[in-house]
Structure 1
């Protein structure tokens, strides 16, 4: 766990319009299927077989996903991959989803560990190619809840290989927040009770958290999907967050800062991740974290391959390697997330790890709305209105924070 504190997942959206082109590229009719409703990506084909390894692979990844022992000699799953495949790994750590999208467009990288707020952009623009899962043997053992998601597939076609998942939880100080909360109302409608000590995630995608709460508490808005908001629904979510802003003491993106804030008492209630809750508790903070009755948002990362990858064979070998049971277990424990491979749980050093992170509990994940990329074609299937695209979420987030 001590290694995990170096990792950050900022996901703060830059305003660069070049990274926000879904509204222009994802045009067409609203398609059906369980995935990416309304998205009609370019007609790209996945390979039918693999060829000879090219000798290298260039990756874009979150910190902690591609470790070769240079950060910690005990944390290394790259060296054995290179020995077994002959593919030398070159990796670039990205600090945000927007940076990942921008880097993929350079054509210099073969694959990326994209979160849901980047994946649809890559699919719609034609930068990410469909994946032939038959060429990734370990895919068969991936938890079913990570397959054919609205964030990683289109009309039944997978555009990547799932890596792991996590939920955005409500954490509170058990000594200062009483009675124990059961709802997100603790950070929204009832936030004034903890004025100046409420914390919230610093990203435009946090608007979805407000929308998820409104879905349960204001049924007249008819919100079906927190990432598919028409203008009225979006305005309601933004208004709620502007109201919340008066009670927020700190917006966090670096979870070291959140741990410190809960230890000091500067923060007593707010959104968090399981790894942060574990770390804060281990350092003496009196905290608990859980999924409130309305459910939660969450994230699921997917290894996606560049449509014009220079080293596709090594990229496919990497995707199979990173979700192999032993390696997937190592990554999950180091980063602090539920592994994707169902067999990984047998290889975790902490035998309670998968239970703590609800890795095999599909019932738990049914209450998690994984990050997705808002586009004009409403992801909930509506065709009579336009939904607010991600670029507008970025603009609104600046206004919300003042």
Structure 2
């Protein structure tokens, strides 16, 4: 371990894989335990309040891993969680920005592509470093954790995840009322996030991707995604009773708000969906639409069970390996949004409703043009200019059309030759 009284070189720190996140019975679906199997009481109490505020199980799991990482770091620097300062947060951010993420197994096939850019999709492959958004999420979780304990009258006197204020002593003094108001508060050690543009799947690439699918279930899933803009998690939660065949609508539970919403999909998607329902194991109204076959743990052949997110990722991974691409389900959501944006009959408000965005400013991100689209249009412009016939030289005429030579002689003092 490294003592805070000693010089701390973050590039030399090795954080042990102490503790783990485990599932739990009761209202809190996940808890953090130490190597001795004991639940971390401060984290458990915070997560209990976090669940009471209506947050989903996925958010509880995400927060649990962040707090486990924080506890591992505190053990390295030998600082109790109640006495943590902004120095520990700063050093953790520095360590996260230069270290590699732990892996349960070494890379094999993906070793050749990690950190590179795909030549077909022009999308970068994931690398083994923590992204800037991950570091910002880490800081936000820690800020929320300490805010909760400070409000209880326990923990440190000041939140170790400090904030900065832009604009000097009077933030917002030069704010233009014609522009949306921006909160001037910013976490001190938040790294800058590179600007990302929504990227769609071109029509010819979509045809290749769809043709590479091997089952009606996969074709129905991707056809729904590219025509309804629903997220992968929203589609995986689809039940048989969530399909309106007459109006060609599906009912999804929105991420975050957990609100139910009916959204339209294409006729082609419903054709593939009909084939999936026809092969449904039970056909009960409350059953999941998507099923897969898995072997039983102790033999006995195959067993039908609902399709999981990991199984859906495996479907795309097999297709991407075949096409040498790295498309994701979220690319299909971007594709649907950009296609709707190019339709003059749809307003930005219409697109916001279909995407399920709470704020119109989120939908406006799709107005930003990807550099590739701009380059494509400029190439088309240059091609048009190149193919345009050269202008013929005008045949000189002694007198302009419609003018009398005598009048021009009086005006200019001579007759044009």
Query: One fold, TM greater than 0.5?
Result: no
Q: TM-score w.r.t. structure 1 length?
A: 0.27
| Greater share of strand | 1
Q: TM-score w.r.t. structure 2 length?
A: 0.26
